[in-house]
Structure 1
């Protein structure tokens, strides 16, 4: 299976979620199932069925996170010799050439992408256009409404 790029912070978040699921959520669900079982008839026991559903969801998420971490290529952008170019994990400030509107994005793996946190996937059109470019380069992004030109204002490796 191909390795999936993941930032150090992304890997830390996944590990924290995995620990929470294994050592907090899982025991709580086991206790809820035991309590519901003590109430008797399981066929019509809504608490039991709800707890079993939660257990199924939690176990599925645990397996998903373990799989992601085992297939991850964790990249520490602070250790990458980027020579001033945009690379995976870099934080890039760009400006729309036409409107002069500035935005800042960090280029991350698909699992870490969250536009509300200004984290875009390495596979997104903007990220693909930026990779390998330098400050003051103009990049053209193919957007649904037509091509948009951006100038790279700054690149940070944090």
Structure 2
């Protein structure tokens, strides 16, 4: 039995679009580049051929990786999750650092979608694990390398 990994519908769609581009645009372009490089003769000293083969290897590896991720994904449409006021997978949480009064907003997503710059954190991250199941007004303690930090959950949004 394989373990399913949670992924938002948006995250799955992003992977599907990348997979389609790799299969329909990148793969044919690389095959054409390999064919053109072959026409130049001796393959041992042909840098264009070597580069095209390397691109092909990367492209095929990425296709396999995306197909595996999608096949092991438990795709969750966060718009269909009932609004309970609790922090769940897919919710967007605004929390306030009780020491600095600094507000931070994160959406809790699957591992493959996590992107701190886009305010998306993995459901398996220490922050998300501290938040899951809590409600607006709750205070959570997040263990960080610099010590424990107290946050108050300000808002929980189901987008």
Relative to the length of structure 1, the TM-score reads: 0.98
Residue 32 of structure 2 corresponds to 31
* Correspondence list, 1:2-151, <5 A: 2-151=3-152
Per-residue Cα deviation, 1:41-96 (whole angstroms, up to 9, x for no partner)? 11111000000000000000000000000000001111112411000011100000
Q: CA RMSD in A?
A: 0.6
How many residues in Structure 1 have an aligned counterpart in Structure 2? 158
Q: In 2, Cα distance between the equivalents of 1:82 and 1:121?
A: 20
List structure 1 runs of 4+ shifted beyond 6 angstroms: none
Q: In 2, Cα distance between the equivalents of 1:52 and 1:97?
A: 54
Per-residue Cα deviation, 1:92-116 (whole angstroms, up to 9, x for no partner)? 0000011100010000111100100
Gaps of 5+ in 2: none
Q: In 2, Cα distance between the equivalents of 1:127 and 1:6?
A: 14
Relative to the length of structure 2, the TM-score reads: 0.98
Q: In 1, Cα distance between the equivalents of 2:96 and 2:143?
A: 15
